[in-house]
Chains A and B, each alone.
Chain A
Amino acid sequence: MSDRVPVLKIGDILLVSIQVDLEDQMVLDLQDDLSQQIVATGARGVVIDISALEIVDSFVGRMLATTAAISRVLGAETVVVGMRPAVAMTLVELGLSLGGVRTALNLELGLGYLRRAQDTPPARR
């Protein structure tokens, strides 16, 4: 059994800070855990901190995009924060621009975005 990335609840926000070199199974487990936690806690926002990640390949990139989409369906907005410049340059060259994923430079800006998003009523889709 592989390690799991902890999902922390702060008010109505779930915070995930990825601090280890991710194996693919951990990526899939995290997606499951987050989806369940959103429903269990009624969270309105999710922040995924990837500042410690040295690479984001297509598998992790896809997880971020899928997680953002799942969260939205479950009523929570996702913000990915802390992407390193070298990771951003590599991701785009790889062919992944993470369209549909809200990003912010750091945790503080990500939380600020979620707070503002929560002050306005959710858009109907």
Chain B
Amino acid sequence: MKEYPADEASREEVEIRSSGDVVKARQAVRVLAQQAGLSLVNQTKLVTAASELGRNTLIYGGGGTARAVIVRDVARVGVWVSFSDTGPGIPDIEQALTDGWTSGSGMGLGLSGARRLVDEFELDSAPGAGTTVTVLKWAR
């Protein structure tokens, strides 16, 4: 994903160790989405994506860190969010992004669904090297 200039003052970081932390992370994302001027529907989509990804970080990654910041492009403002863990990683990324595929007890909509809800999506993972998912939603 391209790097965009960030509003450093808006930067948020939430350690994810429990399902309560997932709630905190999505609340932090919502505050930034409101500040960035995302429409209500786009706020809802981004926060829902953050909820899916935060749960993955907790359940499959064994916990990790959520980071969020407001970013700017030439004429637009958006919210960048990333979830990183140092868990087992994803062996087959393409498969993991398929609707309905799950390694656990979920419905397999988390990753693929989150990707549909955002404007930019990047998944970095390798077996044993943890997973980082980065998403971006622009205000429009």
Contacts and interface: CB of A to CB of B under 8 A. Distances in A.
B97 interface: no
Given A55-B26, A58-B109, A62-B107, A94 B116 contact: yes
A90 B112 CA distance: 13
Contacts of A24: 19, 22, 55
B6 interface: no
**Chain B residues touching A, majority SS:** helix
B44 A86 contact: yes
B82 interface: no
Contacts of B55: 24, 57, 59
A15 to B, nearest CB: 24
A90 B46 CA distance: 9
Interface string A39-74: 000000000000000111111001000000000000
Interface string B109-139: 1101110110000000000000000000000
B107 A86 contact: no
A24 to B, nearest CB: 4
A26 to B, nearest CB: 9
A57 B48 contact: yes
A21 B116 contact: no
Contacts of B44: 54-55, 84, 86-87, 89-90
A121 interface: no
A99 interface: no
A11 interface: no
Interface string B48-71: 100110010000000000000000
Interface of B: 19-20, 22-23, 26-27, 30, 40-41, 43-45, 47-48, 51-52, 55, 99, 106-107, 109-110, 112-114, 116-117
30 contacts: A21-B23, A21-B26, A23-B19, A23-B23, A24-B19, A54-B44, A55-B26, A55-B47, A55-B48, A56-B48, A58-B107, A58-B109, A58-B110, A58-B113, A59-B51, A59-B55, A62-B107, A85-B41, A86-B40, A86-B44, A89-B44, A89-B45, A90-B41, A93-B113, A93-B117, A94-B109, A94-B114, A94-B116, A95-B109, A95-B113
Interface of A: 2, 21-25, 54-59, 62, 84-87, 89-90, 93-96
